[in-house]
Amino acid sequence: MVTAAVLSGSSILAATGEAVERSDGGILAAGAWLIVLVPFLATLAITLFGKRLPRNGGELAVGAVAFVAVYGTVLLLATWFGDGIVYEGGVTIGAFGGFEIEWAWVVDGLSIMMFFVVGVVSTACFVYAVGYMEGDVRPTAFFASFTLFAGAMLMLVSAANLIQLLIGWELVGVSSYLLIGHYWEQKENSSAGMKAFLVNKIADIGLMIGIIIAAITVGSFTISTIMKKVVETDAALDDVAVVIAVLLFIGAMGKSAQFPFHVWLPDAMAGPTPVSALMHAATMVTAGVYLTARMFPLFEEMAHEALDLVLIIGAITLVIAGLLAIVQDDIKRVLAYSTLSQLGYMVAALGAGAYTAGLFHLFTHAFFKSLLFLGAGSVIHAVHSNNMSDMGGLRKDMPRTFWTFIIGSAALAGLPPLAGFFSKDEILAAFNEGGHGVVLALGVGTAFITALYMTRAVSLTFFGTYKGDGHPHESPAIMTVPMLGLAGAAAVAGFLNVPGITDAFYKLVVTRLVSAELLGEHATSFDLTALGLGLAAGVLGIAVGYRLYYEDASTQHERDRLRIPGLWPVLENKYYIDDLYMNGIVNPIKGPIARFVNWTNGNIIDLIVNAVGALTRGFGRFVYGGLDQRGIDLAINEAGAGTGFLGGKLRYIQTGKVQQYAAALFGASIVLVIGFWISIT
């Protein structure tokens, strides 16, 4: 039964009385559940039949995400060229207490944007993965988990209620665990998977408590109901809004790998490269940003203090992660820390109240970061090493990878007219406009650092002479074509939201049930201060990077010459945060817990088990000796003996003499006659 929680144009929640016409999207939006269902069905099909298919299930996986990409694109075009779709539909699954549990999907600008990004980036990564994973040990398991990963993210972004969001959230966690630990034969890979899972789990506790408090306060898990209360400035919700917002953000910090939960993301590089590409671009790490954006009116209207926390966490993350990216040798780790840093930008933008800017950076970043990861994967595929010290001079051997990587790097460094330039500029402008001077300075500084580490990565990988073994070759077309596609997207995506010129993206993401005023300001013209600072930082970063790293040397270690004493060891050891967690949290907890559990096992559980065993033995003995032998057997034996005894006595009646029998017969007849005669008189 499809319950029509359908919200059409007339019910737009607006703080002011302004009425905006919205369409409900018709059959297109009503059928959006297919977007979620198809990947899950594909996962099932791959698990069951994948091994029998020529590509080990890769074709099913690609088909599923390609469907999502097409559907997402159609929805995107429909909302752009229509009035903007706002729709909520659902199926009630059950109810307990006053809470209805339903599978409900929301189709509005924000979720359509995510459908599109997840669909397109997944399609690119999946097609690439079909080439990349050829000859892998467990391709079917990989494709099944990979499809589940995309499906879980779609479940998350389509969720109209917080329970469903949580289910998607946890499924993303589970499938990422499977994917990061794909090569589990090596201990560090499975440990990385476990680390990602556990760190996420800790943060998820915040999310869960936040959801529970919100649901109890509002009386519903449905996000639109919560938004309605926000718009009505419900007093009960207002009281706990800051707590809810902070708790939800703690969950977001875990998935989006914000400081201090950032430690899992670089280790998650243990997974196959397509996984890293998807995880860092469209799925998983964007979930936290998405959650914050989805609940943004709550932060903006009722929990401004929480928004400050968001800003601070984002700012810390963007700087510390950016600095770490400079010292990494593993090319994927450079990109991983870069992702952290860019996520910091997004989170800080949301914290500064720039809803559109944060999401726009998510959008553009998805394209160029997945591109960079696929490029890195292509290089790794050719060199058979993750380390840049084994690379160098690949420009000639891998021209397509080189050029697409250059486009991605330039986009990340924020060079016009590529995507990153516009989105980063908008974030810096938001910092400037919000009066967050320190954060602006950090943002601009990190823009410099970003340009620096990307120049370093490009120089060490593609310029100079080759330092590795063998002869690297360009990857096959199945891998380079998705990269070319993403490069195209990374080049043009920025034009969707040029301040004062185009506002397609802005219009898209504010097409929501809540009116646009609740979603922060949108820059209508270029902020020249921020623009100038950001661009200058980027160009300066590239220049410094060129000066430091371009020149070739006999070893990559020699080329890598920026080694500031004092700072360098700190960065090499990741600010000792991992050690702090390991020695300060994990081991102190692990040791006593292990001892306690061991003690419990030896003294309590064994005691119980032994006692139960002894008790059972005693009972068994009683049942055997007391009940069975002396009770039941006795009764049966006695019954048998009694019958035998009686039979022995009675056999003497059988004399064999016919006349005795006849006498008995006549005697009995006479007795019967007398009895009959007595009874009738």
Partner 1 sequence: MTIAQFLVLSAAMFSIGIYGVLIRRNAVLVLLSVELMLAAVNINFVAFCRFLEDTAAGGQVFALFIITVAAAEVGIGLAIVLLIFRNRASANIDELDALKW
Closest CB to partner 1 among 49 and 666? 666
Closest CB to partner 1 among 564 and 670? 670
User: What does the alpha-carbon distance between residue 371 and residue 484 come to, in Å, rounded to a whole number?
Assistant: 8
Closest CB to partner 1 among 500 and 656? 656
- Indicate left, alpha or beta for 25 from its phi (over 0: left) and psi (-120 to 50: alpha): left
CB contact at 8 A, 234 and 291: no
For residue 19, count CB atoms less than 10 angstroms from its CB and return exposed for 0-12, middle for 13-18, buried for 19 or more.
exposed
Least distance from partner 1 to the Cβ atom of residue 615, Å: 54
Site string for partner 1, 161-190 (x = CB under 8 A): ------------------------------
Least distance from partner 1 to the Cβ atom of residue 666, Å: 6
Closest CB to partner 1 among 599 and 666? 666
Residues 217-246 that bind partner 1 (CB under 8 A): none
Antiparallel, parallel or unpaired: β 99-107 and 87-96: antiparallel
Closest CB to partner 1 among 52 and 657? 657
Closest CB to partner 1 among 623 and 671? 671
Crossing angle of helices 419-433/331-351, nearest 10°? Answer: 40
Q: How far is CA 334 from the centre of its chain?
A: 22
Closest CA to 273 of 146, 441, 458, 112: 146
Q: Within 10 A of 263 (CB to CB), how many other CB atoms are there?
A: 19
Least distance from partner 1 to the Cβ atom of residue 647, Å: 10
Copy the structure tokens of residue 91: 């199926």
User: What does the alpha-carbon distance between residue 497 and residue 84 come to, in Å, rounded to a whole number?
Assistant: 17
Residues 46-65 that bind partner 1 (CB under 8 A): none
Q: How many residues at the interface with partner 1, by CB under 8 A?
A: 11
CB contact at 8 A, 427 and 358: yes
Least distance from partner 1 to the Cβ atom of residue 660, Å: 9
Site string for partner 1, 304-323 (x = CB under 8 A): --------------------
User: What does the alpha-carbon distance between residue 249 and residue 263 come to, in Å, rounded to a whole number?
Assistant: 17
Least distance from partner 1 to the Cβ atom of residue 657, Å: 5
User: What does the alpha-carbon distance between residue 282 and residue 116 come to, in Å, rounded to a whole number?
Assistant: 10
Q: Which residue has the tokens 């595929």?
A: 381
Site string for partner 1, 543-582 (x = CB under 8 A): ----------------------------------------
Residues 612-651 that bind partner 1 (CB under 8 A): 651
User: What does the alpha-carbon distance between residue 275 and residue 139 come to, in Å, rounded to a whole number?
Assistant: 13
Least distance from partner 1 to the Cβ atom of residue 629, Å: 35
Least distance from partner 1 to the Cβ atom of residue 637, Å: 25
Least distance from partner 1 to the Cβ atom of residue 663, Å: 5
Q: Which residue has the tokens 């700012």?
A: 315
Least distance from partner 1 to the Cβ atom of residue 622, Å: 44
Closest CA to 124 of 373, 294, 353: 373
For residue 436, what are the contacts with CB-CB under 8 A and spacing of at least 6? 311, 352
Q: Which residue has the tokens 């944060």?
A: 358
Helix (H) or strand (E) holding 231: helix 223-231
Closest CB to partner 1 among 524 and 660? 660
Note the maximum CA span of the chain: 140
Phi, psi torsion values for 624, nearest 5 degrees: -70, -60
Least distance from partner 1 to the Cβ atom of residue 665, Å: 10
Site string for partner 1, 267-296 (x = CB under 8 A): ------------------------------
Closest CB to partner 1 among 216 and 668? 668
Side by side, the strands of the sheet bearing 87-96 are: 2-3, 87-96, 99-107
Least distance from partner 1 to the Cβ atom of residue 679, Å: 22
Closest CB to partner 1 among 11 and 643? 643
C-alpha atoms less than 13 angstroms from C-alpha of 409 in its C-beta half-sphere: 26
Buried b or exposed e, range 149-165, using 16+ CB within 10 angstroms: bbbbbbbbbbbbbbbbb
Least distance from partner 1 to the Cβ atom of residue 661, Å: 10
Closest CB to partner 1 among 504 and 663? 663
In the beta sheet, which residues pair with residue 100? 95
Closest CB to partner 1 among 435 and 648? 648
Closest CB to partner 1 among 81 and 652? 652
CB contact at 8 A, 273 and 383: no
Closest CB to partner 1 among 471 and 657? 657
Site string for partner 1, 649-678 (x = CB under 8 A): --xx-xxxxxx--xx--x------------
Least distance from partner 1 to the Cβ atom of residue 652, Å: 7
- Interacting residues with partner 1 (CB under 8 A): 651-652, 654-659, 662-663, 666
